Amino acid sequence: MCGIAALHHPTSVPTAEGAPMLDAIEHRGPDGRDHRQVGGHAWLGHVRLSIVDLDGGRQPLAGPGGWSLVCNGEIYNHEELRDELGEQDFRTASDSESALVLLARSGPAALDRLRGMWALCAAAPDGRFVAARDRLGIKPLYWAEVGGVRYFASELRAFPTAVQAAVETFPPGCFWTPGTGLVRFADPVPEVLPDWSGLPTEIAEKTTREVLIDSVRRHLMADVEVGVFLSGGLDSSIVAAIAAEERAAVGQRLKTFAVGTADSPDLLAARAAAEHLGTEHREAVFDADRAIAALDAVVESVESFDASLIRSAVPNWFLAELAAQHVKAVLTGEGADELFAGYGYYHRSHAAELPDELARTIGELHGLNLQRCDRVTMAHGLEARVPFLDADVIAHAMSLPDELKQLENGVEKAHLRRAFTGWLPDELLWRRKSQFGTGSGAQDLLTPHWESRVTDADLATTDAPVRTKEELAYHRTFRNALPNVRPEAVLTRFATA
């Protein structure tokens, strides 16, 4: 996990702008920093959080044909790609090098073969340049064009102030080259899915369990220790249960981390799950004073003012701060609700077109939960991984018959719960869902705070794109941190109806 910045111009590039861009995202890469001018048209910069090939994975990486690459993320199938491509063009053991060699050999359309979370920029001395982002946008990438210069960076704060008004989100599943423009190479949900109508329930549950175990196993790939964010909810508890078993198989004990206000539902449930799984468990406890004191830093880090996003980001901020003291990477349960219909509004308002609504929300995760997950962890030099959003898991889950995703006695995700029968105590496996900002206690602290401090007149007279007093307060901080960024260029809303 890292941070990247890049500049491109058809004839010459103002490389002096590169260093300040890296300064702004140095928190993403506390273990190293480097840059490279490539020919006369491109500059690539990188800050590194060392996870794979600790000694040899420094970037920019150099590859065949004079190509250089900077990449933020993890390529989980890099060993398979290395075997297929042959060792002759590899110089390191870095997972990112598989993307570089694949790109140099087969061009940007081949990037759909990468399995993982990544955003990259690559350039060759002859003028070729590629920017690309994984199919879901798990890893961030923004871009802007001003005066013929194209700017790319992992976070909004990296862009020069004069460029911020032109910044847009680089779309997931796309690559850009000077010759082709923007090209889509992959969709969040595959267009062609297996037809599993009539599939016996027990086979569906077995397959769901197997595909998730495989994904968690691959997401544990690292040359450093990997922990788990354990919220006490179903999704993170399943991830922790699989990871704990994988670690026990090699004689290791999994580290888990939980957060909440004292005696909050999530904290108590996570404690019970950790005790059952035998993990090395730690907790971050916060109160109103700590939550409110952290708000400015959280809003500036998340680069959003959506109230739901910020409420969930505050406990995640303390959680990441704690975990970063003990591990360099964590697994999370992000994405399970969008795959297995875990939100109540899916069933209230979209039962008739459930697959379409699930696909829509999966496609928008990059501007919501994934943005929050990336920013609060990387603010503390911590990598977050999302095994539920592996390509194979998505293809499997989205091919399941609709009836397996319906409520069962009013409980969501019954299929997922049954698939892991015996892995967790029933009181945890069938615990009802609460959103993280609620279950951790953050909403009860933050919403009343702003309701009493922002006036009705403030909300009525503002021209900011906000819905509540709480959101107006966050928008003010957002505007102070990023004075020229257009909110409509980066704002995604949580769906609730």
Based on the residue annotation, tell me whether 2 is a catalytic residue of this protein. Answer: yes
> Long-range contacts of range 109-112, CB-CB < 8 Å, 24 or more positions apart?
109/175, 109/183, 109/185, 111/175, 111/185, 111/186, 112/185, 112/186
Q: Which residues lie below 8 Å from residue 73, measured CB to CB, with a gap of 6+?
A: 1, 2, 96, 116, 117, 118, 119, 120, 134, 138, 139
- Does 411 carry a binding-site annotation? no
Beta pairing class for 142-146 and 129-133: unpaired
Q: Evaluate whether 118 touches 84 at the Cβ level (below 8 Å).
A: no
Burial status of residue 291 (CB atoms within 10 A of its CB: 0-12, 13-18, 19 or more): buried
The pair of structure tokens assigned to 71 is 């990449």
CA distances to 92, 97, 206 from 203, in Å = 42, 38, 5
Residues 6 or more apart from 237 whose CB is under 8 A from it? 230, 231, 269, 270, 273, 333, 424, 428, 429
CA 461 to chain centroid, in Å, comes to 35
- Residue 95, marked binder: yes
Residue 185 makes CB contacts below 8 A (sequence gap 6+) with: 108, 109, 111, 112, 132, 173, 174, 175
For residues 75 and 476, give the distance between their C-alpha atoms in angstroms, rounded to a whole number. Answer: 37
SS3 482: coil
Q: Which residues contact 456 (CB under 8 A, 6 or more apart)?
A: 469
Hey, what are 469's tokens? 């007093």
Identity (one letter) of the amino acid at 112?
A: D
Q: Establish whether the linkage from the previous residue to 64 is cis, with ω within 30° of 0.
A: no
Dist. CA 317–CA 290, nearest whole Å: 11
- CA 58 to CA 50: how far, in whole Å? 8
Selected catalytic residue, list 2, 71, 174, 373? 2
Which class for 92: exposed (0-12), middle (13-18), buried (19 or more C-beta within 10 A)?
Answer: middle
**Dihedral Cα 64, 66, 67, 68, nearest 10 deg:** 120
Distances (CA, A) of 262 to 21, 268, 285, 286, 452: 40, 9, 6, 7, 23
Binding residues: 95, 259
**Active-site residue set:** 2
